[in-house]
Structures are given as C-alpha cells and as structure tokens.
Amino acid sequence: MTTDAGPAAERVQGVGARDGDDLRGEAAGTAAVEAAVALGEGLVDAWGSWGPNMTPDARQVAFISDRSGTPQLWIQDVVLDGLQPPARHLALSPDPVVSVRWAADSRWLACEVATDGGVRTAVWVVRPDGSDARRIAGDAGQHAELGPWTRSGHRFVVTFPGSAAGQPTRSYLADPATGRLDDLASGELIHVLDVSLEERFIVLRDGERGQQFVVVVDRLTDEDFSALPHGATGSTDVALLRPAPDDHTGPVYVYLASDVGLPRRQLIGLPFGPNGWRGEPRTLAARDDAELEFVDSDDAGRLLLLVWNVAGSSELELFDTATLARTPIAGLPGLVAADPVLSRDGSSVVLGVQGPERPRELWHLDTTTHAWTRVTSAPPLPQRALVVPTLETFVGRDGLPLTGWLYRVAGNTGPGPAALSLHGGPEAQERPTFDPQHQALAAAGVTVFAPNIRGSSGFGRDFVHADDLNRRYDAFSDVLACAEHLVHTGIADAARIAVTGRSYGGYLTLASLAFSPGVFAAGIDICGMSDLVSFYRDSEPWIAAAAVSKYGHPERERALLEDLSPLAFADRIDVPLLVVHGEHDTNVPVSESRRVVAALRLLGGPVEYLELEGEGHAFRRADSRKRLLRAMLRFLTSHLSATTVGRPASP
C-alpha cells in the first residue's frame, strides 16, 4: 500500500475538488449548521497577539499578530495610564513570522520566518523603525533557527540543524549589522538556551525527545559540565544564566525549568564559576499539583517570574532568588498564559493571555503593585455565547487517571453526536484556550471532547513517557476509554462518535480507525503520520533523529514501527474519513496523507482529501483555517446525523 495519490491536480479530490468545504447549499447545511459556520469564521477572524518581547525600559513591545490574516511582526508603545496607541506593522516578508526577540540594546529585532509558510524557517533582522530589514540566515533549502540574544545585545544565536542524517547541528553568534556568523557550538541536536553577559558561558540542551541533557560550556577554557544528572529521562526547555544571588558563593547561576530525573518540572538552581568550580544543583521551587512551564529573570538575577501549569490552567508567582520567597500573583485575566517576558530591571511583565471566550491578548503586570493593564485587544466577537469547557476526569482501561476538556452542546440533556479531538505532540497538552473549531462544532450540535491521554505534557514525567515505544498501544487504548467515558456518562450516542486530530492526533485517528474498527462512525486526520517507517525516511532529518526515543529506531525497531503503522491496515478503515494536509509540510511529510488516501481509494473506501496550499505543518493563514473549519463542519454534521449512521458503534 505504497501507491502515491498522483499529481496535485488529481490529489485534491472529495472536499477540495468541488469546493465541498463550503457548507452553504449542502444537504447538511441546515440553518443551525450555517449559523455555526458563520460563528466559526467570525472566531477565526478574531485575530490575536502573542510572543511578546520588549525594550529594556518596558515602554515598547514587539509581538506577533495575525490581524492581517497571516502572522506578522508588530510593535507598540506600552501606556499604563491611558488608551493604548495603535500598533505598527514592520514588514519583513509575506511569509508568516514565527517568533521575535528584541536586542538588549534596543537597536535591532531578530525574527524567525516560516519560509513559504512551511516547516523550515529563516532568520531576519530589522530596526525598530522598520528599516534595514533583511534575511540573515536560511532559505528555501536551508533551515535556520533563532536563538537568544547576548545580554549585551550586540549579537544573537542562529542554529542550523544538520541537513542530512548524521550531520551535526551548528550554532553561531550572528552580527545583525554585518550578517557575520562566528562559530559558537556544535552537537547532534543542540539548542543554545542562553549566553552569559560577557559571552564566556553558554548553556545548551542536547538529546532526543524526553531524554535531553543540559551542558554549561566555558568558551574561554573550552570546558563543559553537565547541569543535570546524566542518564535520567526528562526534558528542559528553559535555562537562564544570571549573576548569583548575594548570599550564594558562585559568581554565576544557571536556573532551569526541568523534570530530568524528577517527578514534575521544577525550578532548579546551580551555582558555578571559572576554573571548574561548581556547586550542587538543588530544587528552588516545586509543586505537587503543577508543573513549571515558563521562567524568566531580570538582569541582576534577583527576581524570577514563574508560570505554573495546573491541569491546563496557568498560575503566576514572583520568586526572590536571595530570600527564596514566592509571591503568588492574583487576577490573571484569562485561564492560560504564555510567553512571559520579565523586564531587565524586574519592574514589568508582558505576557500573552487567552481563554475559551477571548483570543490571545497581551497584558502588562506591574511587579510591585501587581496591577494588570491590557496592552493589545482583539476585535469584537460574534454575538453568541461561547462554550466554557469543563474538566472531566476518568480512567484508562488500565486504571490510569486521565482528564479532558468537554465542550458540551448547549441544552444537550441526552446522548447525541460527539467528536474526540486529539492534540499533537504527543507531548503537547489540550488546554482551555480560544478554539474556533471546538466552538463551531458545539454550535452545530456536535459535542467536543478534547482529552489528554498518556503521553501528554503537564501531568508529570512518568505520564509524558507512558506512551514511549511499545507502550504506544496503551495510548490507543486511552482513545477508546475516551469514547467509553462519553457513552457511560450519557453525553454521546455510541453510534455517533467521531475521532479527529492533528499531527500525532491525526496519526491516532488513523490508528483508532484501523486497529479498532466498529468503534467510531467517522474520522478526520489532519497532517498525521500513516506509516512510521516512511515518516522517518521522509521527515526533516533533525525531526526524525529526535523522535527515536518516542516511537522507536527506524532500523533496530522497524518491526514495532511497522506494527504501529495504520497504512498497512487501511483495509480495516470502513467508515468515512476526511484527510487534510498542508502542501509544504516537511515535519509530517504531505506524502503521509497522499499515500493513505491513495490506498483507501484503491480499496473503494469513503475518503475525502483536502490539501491546503501555502501551508506547512501548522495552518497559520486565516483563509486556510476557515477552509478547514468549513470542511470539518460539513463532514461531521453529515456523517454523524441520525439518518446517515449505518450501524451502531461499540466502544
């Protein structure tokens, strides 16, 4: 079953070939569904703002916003005692902007841009007035990643992952004015997490997913040491180099948000200095009910901002590194916070905030008064009440506690149609964020259940590793437990449950239909893997190399990968399936979808395919998200109606 789906003009059939992603005029286009389409499109148009970075005086903030329909770079003054001024667009390229970092001297902005909207990115620089915009690294055939600025603001890190299997990843210090790249570090899968003020020390992460280690490098002596225990599983996303607190002996401190060898992600501190001196790492802040998700620090290393993930919601604390005192911050204007930035003097915080009823907005926090001020706002939302999801708790078939967010249809008092929505990763986490798809489906009469099955982040190290390698079968079982929960609680009609998901969630969708036929009435696979062997062969080399710890080695564990691949069992998929993929996806290559669609068509299966032009693994353009939303609504309302379901399902 390795047949390709053919030329592009022939591939886009089913949904795309007849503009079937538009519900208006379709048989399923009842007034309620048409209203749900209008609601969903209006919510997609409710642009957001995210990824902030600010000047040292915290008077200006740069951020990403899709208010033009595509994520772009914007800059705005921060006013705390009056109306916020309008934001200014800094034009770089028509391609989506992924991230922005402002130099410590305020003279430059460095940005990561998705080349052609795909997975590979390029690094650009621009002056705050919009002048001197140019690409520093990366093009259509080369992937370049943006790292941190030095604390002086004169240079920043650019990283080039190996372009072929076995090639090393190389990091450089880039001069924004000249474009000069100076060697900084090399390794297998390295990411430079921070650079010290004088550029002597760097802290970098290396290793496969969930099996990472963190190393501090002294560039002057060319020596390094491990900041965390070797051989322990876990991950580290944040590490900061700062002056040590006054009451500690080391001249430098590294602060890490890590769960390496720990039950949950915690704040770890490690003092060290020149001539090989270093202290012992110790836990500075931990919670039994939450994971540390974000950390930032002022320049002096005296104040840290901590953002905790509590079952999907966010809580903030300020941490005094000298006294170890922790001060909770109340009044977060939304359920979920992201991308916090603490000013260099520690007086201000800017971060993104969102919730089920509000898109992503930027807010300012005064660290002394704890007063909140809105920095950006979103456009008016459609005049319709949105669903605030409830957190459901249940257990897997082996008794493992699981949770999920339930978007129940308003006024639903009995079993009805429902859709499981499976997130990607698998290390991602479903959270109560602003989600037009969930809201539109609920408005159309389809209850949405978005679970966090084993392998999800936010629930401890053991949970995130509970689906590694041959434990993948247990994750399949969790999907079935989700359907059983909906039926046993009277929420869903067992004959009218669909399974949907994107990326890893799309893979789970295919696996659920192929390995457990008879459970689900329909499925939607969005950019999911269909064959783990070909995924390793065709994905970006640095993505494939990092995935070995999660899925298995493409040679040593090939038999496992073949057994876990839904494509080989496509003949068991006997319910309607919608497959969606971005044409420029090289993370999960678009061939993964084309091949399963071709296989199902040869078998005569009921499959539809929508390929989104100009999109990669993430669908960043508003027009693409609207097409996807219309396709999902048409497909699910059609195949989950009481008159179209042909046989009962039995979870």
With 80 as the cut, is the pLDDT of residue 518 above it? yes
* Span 104-130, average pLDDT: 95
> What's the confidence (pLDDT) of residue 248?
56
The burial class, CB within 10 Å (0-12 / 13-18 / 19+), for 56 is middle
* Span 429-452, average pLDDT: 97
> What's the confidence (pLDDT) of residue 645?
62
> What's the confidence (pLDDT) of residue 644?
66
With 50 as the cut, is the pLDDT of residue 402 above it? yes
With 80 as the cut, is the pLDDT of residue 22 above it? no
> What's the confidence (pLDDT) of residue 11?
35
Handedness of CA 190, 191, 195, 199 (dihedral sign): positive
Give, for 641, the enclosing helix (H) or strand (E): none
Q: Which fold has domain 389-639?
A: Rossmann fold (3.40.50)
Alpha-carbon distance 484 to 478, whole Å? 10
With 80 as the cut, is the pLDDT of residue 225 above it? yes
Q: What is the pLDDT of residues 313-352, one digit of tens each?
A: 999 999 999 999 999 999 999 999 999 999 999 999 999 9
With 90 as the cut, is the pLDDT of residue 613 above it? yes
CA dihedral of 583, 584, 587, 590, whole degrees rounded to 10? 30
In sequence order, what DSSP letters do the residues of 520-572 get, joined into one string? -SEEEEES--S-HHHHHHHS-HHHHHHHHHHH--TTTTHHHHHHT-GGGGGGG
With 80 as the cut, is the pLDDT of residue 250 above it? no
Handedness of CA 485, 486, 490, 495 (dihedral sign): negative
Q: What is the pLDDT of residues 32-90, one digit of tens each?
A: 899 999 999 999 999 999 999 999 888 999 999 999 999 999 999 999 888 888 999 99
> What's the confidence (pLDDT) of residue 20?
40
With 80 as the cut, is the pLDDT of residue 566 above it? yes
With 60 as the cut, is the pLDDT of residue 646 above it? no
Alpha-carbon distance 158 to 146, whole Å? 5
75-84, 254-263, 607-616: segment of lowest average pLDDT:
75-84
Between the alpha carbon of residue 505 and those of residues 104, 293, 536, 537, 574, the distances in Å are 39, 22, 17, 20, 19
With 90 as the cut, is the pLDDT of residue 4 above it? no
With 50 as the cut, is the pLDDT of residue 2 above it? no
With 80 as the cut, is the pLDDT of residue 246 above it? no
> What's the confidence (pLDDT) of residue 398?
97
* Span 467-484, average pLDDT: 97
> What's the confidence (pLDDT) of residue 643?
60
* Span 120-125, average pLDDT: 96
What is the pairing mode between strands 522-526 and 577-582? parallel
> What's the confidence (pLDDT) of residue 123?
97
What is the pairing mode between strands 145-149 and 372-374? unpaired
Task: Provide the 3-class DSSP secondary structure of residue 400.
Answer: coil
With 90 as the cut, is the pLDDT of residue 410 above it? no
In sequence order, what DSSP letters do the residues of 275-308 get, joined into one string? TT-B---EEEE--SS-EEEEEEE-TTSSEEEEEE
* Span 557-568, average pLDDT: 97
Handedness of CA 178, 183, 189, 191 (dihedral sign): negative
Between the alpha carbon of residue 513 and those of residues 80, 153, 510, 577, 621, the distances in Å are 53, 52, 5, 9, 29
With 70 as the cut, is the pLDDT of residue 124 above it? yes
> Domain-by-domain residue ranges, the chain?
389-639
Between the alpha carbon of residue 510 and those of residues 256, 408, 507, the distances in Å are 37, 25, 5
